[in-house]
Each structure stands twice: as C-alpha cells, then as structure tokens.
Amino acid sequence: MITINSTSTLSKLPSSLALVLILLTAACSNNTQERVAAPETERRLTQGSIVGFEGEYNNHAWLGIPFAQAPTGELRWKAPQHRAAFPSGALSALEHGSACTQLAGGLSGVPGEEGSVGGSEDCLYLSVYAPKLSKDDIINKSSKLPVMVWVHGGSNKTGAGSMYDGSRLAAEQNVIVVSINYRLGPFGWFKHPALNQTSDVDASGFDRNALNSSGNYGTLDIIQSLKWVKENISGFGGDASNVTLFGESAGGYDTYSLMLSPLAKGLFTKAISQSGGLNLSPLALASDYVEDGGHVYSSQQAELYAHHLLNGEKNLSQIKVEVAAQKPQQREAFLRGLSGQLIMDTYRYNSDKSWLQNPDLFSDGVVLPIGNPVELFSDPSTHNNITLIAGTNREENKLYQFMHPELVDTYFGQYIVVKDQSRYDAIAKYPSDMWKYNGVDKMATVLSQSMPGKVWAYRFDWDEQARPLGVKIDRLIGAGHGMEIPFVFGFTDKSKTWSQMYNEDNKASRETLSARMRNYWGGFAHHGKPGKGLDEQGTQWLSWNNESSDKFLVFDSKEGGGIRMAGEIVSLEGIEKSLLADERLPSAEDKCGVLARLVKGRDDHWPAIEYPQKVQGACAQYPL
C-alpha cells in the first residue's frame, strides 16, 4: 500500500539532485544583478527616508525594510511592536533582510546543508516593488495605485518574502507589490500557559497581553505588515485603502485566516488564496500535554523535550513532575532562555530531522475566532466581507509524490522515470481533488451566499514543462503545487530550478498564459473583480454562483483547451465513488492507500474510525 504524506515526502527529497525541482513552491529569485542606489527612489516614510534602486522591468524596488521591532530577547513570543525611526540619513534598501529562523535546504528560504538551522529571529522585513515613478509623480498624482501584499508559502515553517520578485507584476499591472516575512514554525505559533502572564500596558492604556498570549505570532506579524502598509505605502504612490492580500499554499491559508480575524478588518479590501484552505487548531491541541489531548509537539510537550535534550538522565515523566512544581515565571524564564538552535532541535525530538510539526493558526478568540471556518464564513457577521479569488492547481499532489520510490525509478541520482504513468496519475488525482474541495469548492459555496457576487474561483491546468535530458517533468509534476506562482509573477525568477522547466518550445505558451493571469490579478487589484483582465482582452471571468453551470475559470494554454469557464465541483461522495470505480487502481490495496492519504489529511472529512470499513471492509487489512 502506498500512502504519500506531503510533509514527510517533501522533507526527504535529496538535496544532491541537480535536476530535481526542490523549490517548486517558491518563485525563488537568484538575481545577482548589482544594485546601485538611485537618488530618484528616495521616499519619505513615517520611519524616515529610504532609498532603493531601479529594477530590470522599468520599475523601482526597495528591499529589506524593517516593519516591526526585531522579535528577539524579551520580544520572542510576543506580538510584534512598532518599529522605531530609522537612524539619521536615508536607509539604503538594496538588500533583503534575513529570512526567519527555519531549517535550511529543500523548500527553505535559506541556503545550507539539509536540516541545518538557518535564518534569524531578527527577520521582520518586507520589500516593495513599484512602477517607475518620480517624486513629483507621487506628490502630484491625483489617484494612488492599488497595493498587493504577498504572503509566501512553506507550511508556515519555511520560506521568505525575498524569494519572490514583484517587479514585473508591479510595472506591467501598475500596482505596488509588497512581499513580507513573518515568524515561522514554533517562533511564529507557540501557545504556552506560562508565557506573558504579567501586564503589558502600552502608551494608550491597552493591555497587550491578550495579543501576547494568543500564540498566533506569525499571524500578528502579517497584520503588522498590513498596518505598516496603511501608514507608509502612500509614500511609494500606493493607495492604503485599496490593498489586496494574496498568498500561496500556507500563504493562502494565512490569507483565509485574516478574512476571519477581527484585528485585520479594514487593513485589506481584497484577497487571493492560491492553493490555500483553512484549518484552525484548538488551543488544547496547541498547548496541552499529549495525555490531555495535546499534539505530540504542543508547546508544553515541547517544553519537556527541551528539558530532556539538556538533561538526558531523566525521563519525560520525571521531568513533567518537576516542571509541574515550578512557578510560571520559572517556566517562562526557561523557555525564553533557550537558544534558537535548541528550540528547532526540540521540534525534531524523536522525529525526522528535516521537518517540523508544530501546530499553527490557533482559535484563540482574539486574533482568530473560535469555531469552524466554514460555519464562520457562512455568516456575513463573522468574517471580513471582502472580495475573494480562490484557486488550486489540477495536479497539486504530484509535487508530493514525484520522488516516491514505489512510484518512480531514479537512475544516476537524477534521472527519474515513472513506473506506471496511469497508476501514478490516479494516485495523484484524489488528494488533488481534496485540495480543490477544501481550498475552493467548500469555501466558495458558503462565501458566495454570505457575500454574493464577490467570489471568483480558478483551476490552473498548464502542464507543458520541458523535458531536460528526457526527464518528463510535465508528467512527473505537471500542473502541480506551486506551478502557477511564476505565471503570476511573470517568470522573474532567475534560478536554475525554473530554467530546467522552461525552454523555447514552451515559451510562447507560458508567456501568453502568464500575461493573461497577470492581467486578471491586476484587474482584481484595481477594480475588485477580475473581469476580462486589466487590459479587457481576456475571457470574461464570472463570479461563483451555486446555481450556475459556470463556476470557475480554467487557466491553460490554447493546446490544453484555453482559458475557459467550467463548473465541475468536487464532493466527498464523488471522490469516494470515483476512487472505487477507478480501473487505474484495480487492487483494494491501492484504493486503501489513497484513502489512507485522505484520512491523514488536515481535515476531519475522513474519520480514521471509518477507514477499516472502506472498500467493502478490505482496508482493515492495511492499517493506518
């Protein structure tokens, strides 16, 4: 039986493969072009003056702008705080700020040996990309430009805003693009009862401990970046009242979460969730010991692991007794005194050394509400009523299985051949359909009722990648997870990874499709609806309507059927019925393997208790 866990599979991809598309979830820019400060890019912000450089797409750019105080020392595991003024003189914004602390290699936003710790806790930086405007343009321009704030993916555990170059999107669509960092892993999401118990009243008299104790520090970082945009983006020619929040994968999850956050109300007016969805972790799961219903990497469980790593002579039970006898202040001092390296090691205790498993996005009742997201989205009074684009890629799950040894043969460390393409495609289909169900169909169905005419959906189908040395990337990954990102940003990535995928043979196809996608994203940013794109030259993109046969837009090349409206939606019953009838998976073992993958997903649609009865009871032979 083959079960493919997206997290563990990705974490084990060999870093030595020159041809393997390790960074497929990020449009990682390795542009080494020398940057020279350009006097005409000087801008005046609330923090002081800043100077950037001229980009290669007839644009201006400013990199590595701090938008909050460094969350280090006593500010670790606290809500982000306003950044003080820049030092005297203009800040030179020519280089990206550090990525947040994370494991290096693989999907990471930092280079280094696979599994080593990279980045920094001092990481709350953002970058701004804008069309080339003079100071006079900004001062005299009667209308400001729309703003698009990008939230990177990486399971809320890896990645960085620096991996995405918004230059072409900004210049061609006449928008301001902002890419941000936010705290990751246990630095970004950590709910512990001993932290932040003392009062923390700010100058206005507000006790910040409600925020400090939420545990949703990464979410609060994104909110803080939006506050920075509201205060400063007019200095770049941007309209603070016209902000689109958009993100992919974990960034898509975070975008959905901020549609529910009362703290984000008024900070953005439109949202785009690319390959997203939303699950909110209960506080007990995030904080309690395992025997009390907590996650195996809950904050208190991790506390025990940290003690054990420092003192291996005592077992976890003995440590738990000693910790229980401590005062909250002692426990807090211990946690704040841990090095970043030890914290990362704690979250790999007895686990795969190249991936973290901490819970995130907590229903704390302050930053994120308590309740089922679908139910919250069905009531217009319990979510921020803003326009939304939501989409997924047709073959999301292929990214998570293209190195699975039971599905492919690998020669000379880099030549990958699918053993049985029909079976390979079938195994990818059902988790990919579930992604569409969770990220689009389920959400759009309720949101289109609570805010009619304000939801648009898409599916990305393009699968015409190159075949370097005969490796069939188009069949291995195809329209897989992350494949739409370079189309949205306009292939601004300069890495060797992407160059393996693109060549002269597919240039016309991908550039044509990318231009249309950029226009739709631009039209949405400008007008609050994608329409026919900013240039009004595309297919009319209709909003989602539960009664209509046309519900979402398909993005594909002319050879693949073109850009067109479609209406087939995914249902749980339909997935199981189709799987049971799928002749590409003739054995009960294969069918149970697919079902096992669904049971292990991040939702409760497939209860583990029902699994043994599936496939006429055959799955009992293949335990989870």
User: pLDDT class for 449, splitting at 50, 70, 90?
Assistant: very high
**Nearest Cα residue to 619 out of 602, 594, 600, 583:** 594
Model confidence, pTM: 0.94
Tokens representing 184 are 């990751």
Q: Are 23 and 107 a contacting pair, CB within 8 Å?
A: yes
Tokens representing 567 are 């209406």
Residues 462 and 509 in one domain: yes
The pLDDT of residue 9 is 35
Helices and strands per DSSP (H, E), number in the chain: 21, 18
Element of type H or E holding 459: strand 455-460
Q: How much of the chain is helix, strand and coil, in % rounded to 5?
A: 35, 15, 50
Contacts of 355 (CB under 8 A, 6+ apart): 7, 8, 10, 11, 103, 157, 348
The pLDDT of residue 602 is 64
* Tens-digit pLDDT profile for residues 326-384: 999 999 999 999 999 999 999 999 887 778 999 999 999 999 999 999 999 999 999 99
Give me the chain's average pLDDT, please: 92
Tell me, what DSSP letter sits at residue 100?
Answer: B
Work out how many domains the chain is built from and give that number: 3
Within a domain: 129: yes
Within a domain: 308: yes
The pLDDT of residue 30 is 46
* Whether the predicted pLDDT of 44 surpasses 50: yes
**Nearest Cα residue to 271 out of 311, 306, 310, 222:** 222
Q: Are 456 and 548 a contacting pair, CB within 8 Å?
A: no
Residues 311 and 242 in one domain: no
Task: For residue 579, give its domain range.
Answer: 573-621
Within a domain: 352: no
d(CA 151, CA 361): 15
Q: Among the three residues 551, 570, 589, which one is the final residue of a domain in this structure?
A: 570
Query: Any idea what the CATH number is for the domain that residue 411 is in?
Result: 3.40.50.1820
What single string gives the DSSP state of each residue in 387-454? Answer: EEEEEEETTGGGGGTTT-TTTEEEETTTEEEES-HHHHHHHHHHHHHHHHIIIIIHHHHHHHHHSTT-
* Tens-digit pLDDT profile for residues 56-114: 999 999 999 999 999 999 999 999 999 888 877 789 999 999 999 999 987 678 888 88
Residues 155 and 90 in one domain: yes
The pLDDT of residue 557 is 98
CA dist list (Å): 539 to 455, 533, 615: 17, 8, 42
Identity of residue 438:
N
Residues 549 and 609 in one domain: no
* Tens-digit pLDDT profile for residues 591-614: 999 999 999 876 678 999 999 999
The pLDDT of residue 4 is 60
The pLDDT of residue 25 is 37
Residues 522 and 444 in one domain: yes
The pLDDT of residue 33 is 64
CA 564 to chain centre: 27
Residues 38 and 154 in one domain: yes
Q: Is 133 exposed, middle or buried (0-12, 13-18, 19+ CB in 10 A)?
A: buried
Within a domain: 117: yes
Within a domain: 292: no
Residues 186 and 315 in one domain: no
* Secondary structure class of 590 (helix, strand, coil): helix
Contacts of 107 (CB under 8 A, 6+ apart): 10, 22, 23, 25, 26, 154, 155, 158, 159
Residues 307 and 318 in one domain: yes
Within a domain: 286: no
Within a domain: 169: yes
d(CA 82, CA 92): 20
CB atoms within 10 A of CB 346: 23
Residues 440 and 511 in one domain: yes
* Tens-digit pLDDT profile for residues 185-239: 999 999 999 999 887 777 666 778 889 999 999 999 999 999 999 999 999 999 9
Within a domain: 611: yes
* Tens-digit pLDDT profile for residues 232-266: 999 999 999 999 999 999 999 999 999 999 999 99
Q: Which residue has the higher pLDDT, 597 or 140?
A: 597
Residues 442 and 540 in one domain: yes
Residues 556 and 596 in one domain: no
Residues 87 and 198 in one domain: yes
d(CA 367, CA 384): 13
The pLDDT of residue 32 is 52
